[in-house]
Structure 1
Amino acid sequence: MTVDAPAQAAGARTAPPPQDAGVWTQLRVLTGRSLRALVLDPRLVVASLLGPLLMLGMFSQLFGSVARAPGFPPGVRYVDFLVPAIMVTSAMQAALNTAVGLTQEMRNGIIARFRSMPIWPGSVLLARSAADTVRCALQQGLLLVLAAALLGFRPAGGPLGALGAAALALAAGCCLGWIFIAIACWIRNTELVQSVAGLATFPLIFASEAFVPASALPGWLRAVAAANPATYGIRAARSVALGEPALADAVTALAVSAAVGAAAAALAIKGFRRGL
């Protein structure tokens, strides 16, 4: 039995078209792709841990006397004051690695291959950010263990306070890390991204309450720290770790970080679309 051409055409018209993968499927596949690099090469976690651990060891020894200065929280050891700040800054610096890796993929042609795929461009960036958030979570856990074992980190909030501080640091730091992803999407040059992101990292970390309390900062720097979004994440994580009332600080930190992260993400996606 033969089927005439009009019938074949009608059948072709009624056949359902192939469906593109949804955004969640795209995120799952692309995130898994990035995480496989972590599984295949655990040295990435070790290497990313060395920087925060060295910073924690150096600053805890160099500035330990700050704990005896006027205005420092009474009864708080400097290492307990410092660890929550290092967790926030290390989460932000993890996003810097994301930005550098993204520019490398733009240069070696991997991103160009996505042009032929029916995917939302933002899913590429979100997947990279999600994968590095997982890596950063592992980093935070290792940092807490090593800080407790090697430096005697014993915050007043106990283990639950330390874990709560790590969760807040991860959320705030990864939101703020979109600043670096946006820089990568607009500059698209690995060396230049490292330089510009390094310049942006300096005020985010050092013009904040990371290493000394706000009362110990000069007046002009105190004003800069108050406008620094990283300050709110550091303050909230520290309050939770030290067992202080932290609900207002946590809500403020999450709101500020989410607002900055959303604005930077929108800018990053816009810059990323230029090359697709």
Structure 2
Amino acid sequence: MSALDLTPVAGRGRLFWQVADAWVMCRRNLIQTWRVPELLVFATIQPILFVLLFTYVFGGAINVGPGVDYVDFLMPGVFVQTVVFGAMLTGIGLANDREAGLVDRFRSLPMSRSALLTGRTLTDLVRNAFIMLVMLLVGLAVGFRFGDTNVLAVLAGFGLMLAFAYAFSWVSAVVGMSVSGVEAAQSGGMIWVFPLVFASSAFAPVGSMPGWLQAFAKYQPVTTTVDAVRALFLGGPVAEDLLVSLAWCVGILAVAGPLAVRAYRRGTAR
């Protein structure tokens, strides 16, 4: 078959072409990231600063309980904070493509309607995985150590964080397809990310917060994910938090995914 032959290949159905189109978009974004390494550098510097600041500036003032080093308490929270902040890049990248007119061009092509969004979210998933590896090395350098756990539990913790990051990338995609530009996408992302991250157990125990805030902080998705990862990394009861976090991931994907595709199809963002 020639390069210009668009006749469907026998035995290759709609799902095959959806996956193929998404891979093309993902590959395009990865090449773009490789050509602009500053994107990875700047995305990595911020969480490193959080680790250094909270470990050496605020760590001595935060009591996380007897027998627990603050850096061990902190790193699972920083990991989750890093992937949530990394998910914001999905909306920013989509808004940038819209400003450049690329989204309109992609919308006119004979490709899967979800390919652009799926490709972008998969790209940011790969980027988040790389940043998590860097953050693990930084954590080990400042004294973080895994507790009474095993390799499978540690891998499950990283897998949970990647699933959580992927779900939040679709929330960011909704923002990116629904605002007027890159600056709006960045500001819109901050509005929902900051309360979730900082009003959680990422940096301090929920019990140290005011009573009216605890009701929100205890059950929101970032807290349940941080608590699950913390238990997987350090040891302790994990089943309830793990199940709740997975439920959040599924629920977020079930809502945000269709909303993002709908915004892309209708071109609601102007």
Q: TM-score per shorter chain, which class?
A: 0.7 to 0.9
Question: Aligned to 2:170, which of 171, 174, 178?
Answer: 178
**1:221 aligned onto 2:213:** yes
Task: For 1:230 and 1:125, locate their aligned partners in 2 and report how far apart those are by CA, in whole Å.
Answer: 23
Across the two proteins, how many residue pairs are aligned to each other?
Answer: 257
1:38 counterpart residue number: 33
Secondary structure in 2 aligned to 1:63? helix
1:152 counterpart residue number: 143
Q: For residues 119-151 of structure 1, what are the alpha-carbon distances to aligned partners after superposition, in whole Å with 9 as ceiling and x for unaligned?
A: 1221211110001100110100111012102x1
Task: For 1:169 and 1:157, locate their aligned partners in 2 and report how far apart those are by CA, in whole Å.
Answer: 20
Residue 153 of structure 1: CA displacement?
A: 0.9
With 247-256 and 158-167 compared, the bigger mean Cα shift is at: 158-167
Query: Which letter does structure 1 place at the counterpart of 2:86?
Result: A
Task: For 2:131 and 2:190, locate their aligned partners in 1 and report how far apart those are by CA, in whole Å.
Answer: 20
1:84 counterpart residue number: 76
Identity of aligned residues (%): 32
Conserved? CA contact 1:157–1:240, under 8 Å? no
1:274 counterpart residue number: 266
1:23 counterpart residue number: 18
Q: For residues 49-74 of structure 1, what are the alpha-carbon distances to aligned partners after superposition, in whole Å with 9 as ceiling and x for unaligned?
A: 1011101111122321355x3xx343
Task: For 2:30 and 2:134, locate their aligned partners in 1 and report how far apart those are by CA, in whole Å.
Answer: 18
Task: For 1:172 and 1:17, locate their aligned partners in 2 and report how far apart those are by CA, in whole Å.
Answer: 37
Q: Is the radius of gyration larger for structure 1 or structure 2? A: 1
Question: Aligned to 2:135, which of 132, 143, 147?
Answer: 143
Residue 28 of structure 1: CA displacement?
A: 1.3
Conserved? CA contact 1:176–1:230, under 8 Å? no
**Cα RMSD between the aligned structures?**
2.1
Task: For 1:18 and 1:116, locate their aligned partners in 2 and report how far apart those are by CA, in whole Å.
Answer: 18
With 45-54 and 157-166 compared, the bigger mean Cα shift is at: 157-166
Task: For 1:36 and 1:89, locate their aligned partners in 2 and report how far apart those are by CA, in whole Å.
Answer: 26
With 255-264 and 82-91 compared, the bigger mean Cα shift is at: 255-264
* Residue ranges of structure 1 left out of the alignment (5+ in a row): 1-15
Secondary structure in 2 aligned to 1:32? helix
Task: For 2:40 and 2:28, locate their aligned partners in 1 and report how far apart those are by CA, in whole Å.
Answer: 16
Question: Aligned to 1:49, which of 44, 56, 68?
Answer: 44
Conserved? CA contact 2:228–2:241, under 8 Å? yes
Secondary structure in 2 aligned to 1:253? helix
Task: For 1:268 and 1:77, locate their aligned partners in 2 and report how far apart those are by CA, in whole Å.
Answer: 41
Task: For 2:79 and 2:94, locate their aligned partners in 1 and report how far apart those are by CA, in whole Å.
Answer: 23
With 133-142 and 213-222 compared, the bigger mean Cα shift is at: 213-222
Residue 167 of structure 1: CA displacement?
A: 2.4
Query: Which letter does structure 1 place at the counterpart of 2:27?
Result: G
**1:165 aligned onto 2:160:** no
